[in-house]
Structure 1
Amino acid sequence: MNTTATRYDAAFYVQALDRFVATGECAETDTEPLYAYLLSVMNDSMVKVQVLSDELCARIFYDTMIQFIQLNLDKEKYNFRKSQSERNEMKLVLEWSIAKRKDGWQALLQQISDKYRKYGFDSRFYRSHFGTEGGHADDEVWEKMVDDWEGAFQLKMHEEKEKEIAFRKDALERRLRSNLKDIPEYVRQNRVDKDEFFQTWGMMSGLWNTVDFERIRKIVRIQRSCPEIVKVARKMGRMADDEGREQIRVAEGNVYKMEHSSKCDILGISTGNDLNALLPIELAHSADSELEDLFVYKYLTRKLQTFRYKSEIMQPARRIETKPARPKGPMIVCLDTSGSMAGKPEKIAHSLLIRLLEIADRQRRNCFLIAFSVSIHPIDVRKERARLLEFFSKTACGDTDATRMLEATFRLLKGGREYMNADVLWISDFKIPHSSPAFMEEIRRCREAGTHFYGLQIGITDNEWTPFFDRIYRAGYIPSRNY
C-alpha cells in the first residue's frame, strides 16, 4: 500500500531548527502541515532578525518551537495509534478469500464510502466492476481499492493535523512574541548571568514565568559555592587533548566474542533468523525450490532452527582510530535518590544535572538519566523534559542498591551506536554496597573498552568504589542556608 501523506520524525524538525538558528536558512514552504507552519514562522522577517542577532532570543525561539513541535507530534502519534485498527483492517482485507470477497465487497465499499467520500474515495467504479461476473476476483482492482482507501485515510489524517495546528498556533504566536520581548528585558533588568539563564531556562520547557525561573535559578546558583559541579560537567564527554586529537572507538557492525578459538562455542539449539548459525536441515530447505517459501516464512517470523552459542550476545564492534576529537560525546548520568541524599546533597545533585542538561541541549548531545535507589527511573533528558520536571519535584527516599542501575547502564553501553561511546557519571554520597562480582568485572571490561566512569561524591564518607572509577570528585556540603 502506498502512503500518500508526508510524515517527518522529530529529528527532522530539530535539524531544521538547528540550521535556521545557526544560519537563518530554511525552505519557503512544504506540503506537510507542521513543517509548513514551522517554515511560515521562520520566514517571518521580525523573528529572523531577533533570532540571528540575539543569542538569548535564538535559544528562546528554539525551545518554544521545540515544545510546540513535540506537543503536535504527541497528538499525531495518539491519533495514529487510535487508527491502527483500521490500518490492520486494510491489511486483512487484502488477504480475503475469493468467497469472502463475493459475500462482503458491497458492505465493505459502503463502509469506506460513508467515511471517506469527502476525501476522494469514489466507490462507483468499484461497485460497477465488482458487480460484474467474477469482478471481485480481480486481484489488481482489489488491491487498487485498498490503496485508494489508504490514500483517503492519509488525507483525513493530514486534515486532522492541519486542524490541530490551527487550533494551537494563535496561542503559540502570542507566547512566542511575549517570550521574545519579556524574557530578554527581565534578564537585563535583573542582571541575570547568561550561563545561569541558559541553565534555568532549559528546565522550563519553553514556558516562562518568573516564579519558576527564580526557584530553579537558586538551584543553579549553588554552582558558585560548589566548583566541583563545574569541573565534573566539563569532564563529561570525549574531550580533545592539547593537540586536538584523541583515540575514540567507532562502531563497525557487530562481532561475536569468542573466549578461545579452539573451544567449542555451541551451547544448544534455538530459533531465530541468524543466517550464520543455521542448522544443516534449514540450509537444505533454503536450497530446495519447493521449500523455499517455507524457509522465507520462517526467516521473517524468526522461527528458523539455529545453533545457540555461548557468545551469541552480539556486541558492537569497536576499533581504535585516531580522529579529530569531538567534544560532543553522549552522557549517562546515574543519580542516587536514596534517603541519605535528602536535603543539601540532593540540591547539589540537581544543580549538576541542570548544568549537564544545558550542555546536552546546547551541544546537541545525548544524555540519559538513571535515577536510582533500589528501583530505577530512566529518563532521556532531552526527549522527556516533562518527566524530568516531575522528577525534580520528588524528594530523595529509600535504601540504596546499584544492581538495577548497573543493569540499565550496561544495556545502554552495549545497545548500539547511540551510547556506545558514552561517559558514565555517578552522583551520590557513595554509601552504596558493592554489587555482585560479575557486575564489578563488567565495569572493568567497559573501562578497558574505552568507557570513562566518573563520580561526584557529595559528603564525606569512606568510598569503596574508587578503584572502579577513572576519577571521583568530592564535594562537601555547602554553607547552611535556604535554597
Structure 2
Amino acid sequence: MLSAESLNMGLMLAESGLLDAAMTELMSHPQLLLLTERSPAIKRAVQKQLDKWRGHTKRKLMQQGLSPALKQEIQLYEQATEKSARAFESDIQTLLADLEPVSSFHAQASSLAAQQAEHPDPMFQSYFCNKWHAHLKAEIHALQSENLEAQKEKLLDDLYRRIATYQTMDGVDQSGDISKVGRLWDMAASHLSQHDVTLLKRFVTFLEKNPDLQAIAEQLGRMANQVSASGPSQQPTETLKTVPERQVDVPDDITGICQSDRVDRLLPNEAVLLSDPALEVVFYKQLVDKQLLNYQLSGKAHRRQKVETNAPSQSKPEQIKGPFIIAVDASGSMSGFPEQCAKALAYVLMRIAATEHRDCYVMLFSTDHISYELTGEQGLQEAMSFLSYRFHGGTDMAPVIDKALDLMAGDRYQNADLVVVSDFIAPKQSDAMIEKVNALKAQQNRFHAVSLSKYGNPELMAMFDHCWRYQPSLAGRLVNQWWPGKRDH
C-alpha cells in the first residue's frame, strides 16, 4: 500500500499547476510589467529569478511535508485500506474515535457510518475510502496553497526591493543604459538608504565632470580581449548523437503512483468501483478528470538528439574576461581630489564588472589594508562602505600586492586584471615580487597602474603592463601612455 510519503507525492494535486499559476500572477504585477517592458534584459533577469524561485519553492513544499495530525490521518487511511471488508466494518467505531482529534473528515465519516448501519452496502469500505481519499487531497492542496502564498509574499517583497534599488541605480547611472543587466539585478537585492543614493549621485556628478576616468575604466574593461590565448582554439558545433533517455511511456519499471486516465495501468482498488452500479459513475468521473490512481512506469529509450561538441577552429577565440582586483592607495597623500578620482574609478569598474558577470575585489591599503567584494551578494553595501571610507595614514604597497598575487595564483582569479590606483610616491618593489608578477603575466594576467600624481616613481611603475597618468588639474587632463620601453603605437 501507499506510504505516507508516497501518498503525499501522489496527492500533490498538480503542484506544478499551482506554481505556474503563481508565476503568471507574479509577472502580471504592474510594477514588474512596467520595468520588464522597458528592457528585455531585465525581463530575462526577472524570469530567471522566478524560475529559480519556482525550483526552490517546489523543494521547500516537499521538505515541509505534512503536519503531524495529517500524517497520523494518512496512517489511519493506510490501515483502513489494508483491512478486509468485514474487519473494516467491525472496527468502524474505533476508527471514528481515532479520527475525531486529528481530522475534519470525522463528521462526514460518522455520517457515512450511520448510513451503512441503516442500509448495509457490501462496497461500503471502497466508497468510504474514496471519500476519505478526496478529503486528504483537499487537505494537502489547502496546505500547499497556504505555504505557496507565504513564499509568494516573500518573493514579491524581494522583487519590489530590487525594483526600487535598481531604479535608484538607474537614476545614478550617468549613461542611463539599462540594456546590460548582468549582476546588477542580483546586487539590487540590497537596500539603498537616502544617504547611499546621495553618495552615489555625488560620484556620478564627479564622473560627468571628469569623463576621462570613465575612458580609462572602459579601456581597462577591454584589456582581457587583447591577450592572445595559448593552445588550439575550440569552436562549439552541434552533432547528432544517439543517447538514452528516461521516458514515462516505456513500461520497464514501476517507480510510484500517479493520477491519470490510463485504464491499462489502473490500481486494483480503483477497478473495484466498476463492480457496483452505484459506484460506477464515480469511476467514470475520475476517469474523465484524470484522477484514477495509476502505476507510474518509466524506462529507457534511445533517441537521436543534437549535442554540442568542440571542434578545432582557425578563428581567434574570444578571451574569457576574468575578475578585477583593484588596489586603492588610501594614504593621507591621496586625500582630497585624488581620493575622489580613485573612488570614482573603482565605482565605474564595479559597474563594468557587474554588467559583464565579472568579480570585482577592492583592497584599500595604507599602513594596513581592507578588502571589499563589490560584486558579491552584499556588493552594494560593500561599495557603500568603500565609498564612505576616509583616506589617511602612510603608504605600504608591498602587503596588498602580495595579497593580490596570492589571489591571482588561485583558480577563482585566473585571467585577472590587477589595477593599482595610487600616487606611486613609494620605493621600487623587491626583485622577488617582480619575478612573481612576471610569472603571472605569462599566465595571461594583466597588471595596470593608474597614477594620480606626476611625481610617481617610474621604477615602481615599470613592473606594470599598462600605465596611465591622470593628472588631477582643473583641466582634468588625461595622459594615456606606455612608460619607457612600453609605448603603444
The TM-score, its normalising length taken from structure 2, stands at 0.48
